[in-house]
Chains A and B, each alone.
Chain A
Amino acid sequence: MTTKAEVLEVSVWRGSADGGALETFEVPARESQTVLDVVSWIQQFADPTLTYRYACRVGMCGSCAMMVNGTPRWTCRTHVQKVAEGNSLRIEPLRNLPVIKDLAADMDPFFDKWVEAEAVHHPTGTRHDPIAHVDADSGARQAADAGIECINCAVCYAACDTVAGNADYLGPAALQRAWTLLNDTRDGGGASILDAVSGGGGCHNCHSMGSCTQYCPNELDPMSAIAGLKRETVRRVFRRRRDA
């Protein structure tokens, strides 16, 4: 579908935590226009009260994610031409998160779960120690490297049907970060990470549906990271047996 039409029909979700509805705007179509350009145009030329969030505009900060025609996307790097249905766009706040206002979702539950998953650095040295040697070729380092480019945009979290059905589930981003730290030789939190991802909302709730991996704008693979966590939690039980 190309958007040769001069004007885009854009329905934008307006409202707050108490509810809201779609409002339609007509936005001039431009070549190489991104979805974020469209939202910014509306805010600048049609309705200055429209609330949304962005910072870098180049796919690094992870703050501009929204639902575009029902699919979670980083809007600053999503071309309208690629996602418009005919000449219409439907833009809504990220799924699976509470709304603050209009297109700005409340990211608190998302980041609280990173902490809950022990996806925080557990230092093993101090600034007085020599710089840790990291073997770039080791399997563990490669497993960590595969997941560290996460920009915390919450697209995976919005895409995940397990999050939608199970509010306690930690979600793909937090679990993937837990996995990269588990594989980082400089992180000393192995046991507490495995404990944290084994609870009621942990990695074992994942059904491997793969929406996280399919929609991650950075082409990361949280589903495999979560599978890695499941494997390690099981291995740990047998390791304990042997050591006992």
Chain B
Amino acid sequence: MLDFRLYMAQRLTALIMAPLVLGHIAVMIYAIQGGLSSAEILGRTQGSLFWLLFYGLFVLAVSIHAAIGIRVIVHEWAGLKGAALSALTWATGLGLLAMGARAVWAVTAA
């Protein structure tokens, strides 16, 4: 159910996420110092290739990582397997990716 390929995908995405989580939290704390409006935040993120790549990569890593995690939990706790389990894995991954990508695009598109 969790073969070597999925195991590596989950470990590698965890490696990518670790610094991004720290970066995300640091920016959150920094950004709200002295009260920052959403318009001001959008002013900095819109049209920024850096933030597009930062959060784009974050969303991609989260989608892969979470889909595999959910796959393991659902298999062990609910007994789902085979094609249904694969379908759920893909649906979770693609669903998270779609929602995340939409959010990233909303704040970074110029």
Contacts and interface: CB of A to CB of B under 8 A. Distances in A.
18 contacts: A165-B75, A165-B76, A165-B77, A166-B75, A166-B76, A169-B1, A198-B3, A198-B4, A199-B3, A200-B1, A200-B2, A202-B4, A204-B4, A204-B7, A205-B2, A230-B7, A234-B8, A234-B11
Interface string A189-203: 000000000111110
B77 A200 contact: no
A230 B8 CA distance: 10
Given A162-B76, A165-B75, A165-B77, A201 B1 contact: yes
| Prevailing SS type, chain B contact patch | helix
A240 to B, nearest CB: 13
A233 interface: yes
Nearest to A195: B4
Contacts of B7: 204, 230
Contacts, number: 32
A1 interface: no
Contacts of A237: 8
Interface in A137-155: none
Interface of A: 162, 165-166, 168-169, 198-202, 204-205, 230, 233-234, 237
Interface residues of B, number: 12
Contact of A204 (B3, B75, B76, B77): B3
Interface of B: 1-4, 6-8, 11, 72, 75-77
Nearest to A164: B76
A168 B6 CA distance: 16
Given A204-B3, A205-B2, A234-B8, 12 more contacts: A165-B76, A165-B77, A166-B76, A168-B1, A169-B1, A198-B4, A199-B3, A199-B4, A201-B1, A204-B4, A204-B6, A205-B72
A79 B2 CA distance: 39
A237 B77 CA distance: 31
A197 B43 CA distance: 52
A205 B1 contact: yes
B4 A166 contact: no
Contacts of B4: 198-199, 202, 204, 233
B3 A202 contact: yes
Nearest to B7: A204
Contacts of A169: 1
Contacts of A162: 76
